[in-house]
Amino acid sequence: MDQALPRVRHVQWLVGPLVTLVAVLGLLLVARFYDRLPVRPPECGFRQTTGLPCLGCGGTRSVRALVSGDVIASVTFNPGVVVGIVILLVWITTGSLRYLRGVEPPPIPEQNRRLKRNAVIAGVLFLLNWIYLLLFLP
């Protein structure tokens, strides 16, 4: 009688997405109670110095609009925030499925290749977001 080997689950599929989720939930919680906080963030030093928005300009307004349920305003202020949250949800879903299915992590060279590819994709997304902010930030 053949007995199936128990499925080995690899927790490394969950560590990155869950740590990022905790950080994002913390930011969303702060944004939810932003008006009640005793301190305010300083004005953007990059924008004050150069007159141009930085990559994060509009981020606070975007997160505040998002926790208020106004997705359109959130995208208007900084689309990178909403895109980042969608990417996080996809990352959590794929990581969870790989964990539950017992998928083996790829070998280190493959992990490095994926890391480089994802860094290039992130760089392009940051650049596109910054171009949007330069052209359309309200």
DSSP string, 26-75: HHHHHHHTGGG-S--PPP-HHHHHHSS--TTTTHHHHHHHHHTT-HHHHH
Cβ atoms < 10 Å from Cβ of 70 = 14
Q: CA triplet 60, 92, 107: central angle to 5 degrees?
A: 120
Give me the percent of the chain exceeding a pLDDT of 70. 96
The list of the chain residues with pLDDT below 50 reads none
Check residue 75 and give its pLDDT. 96
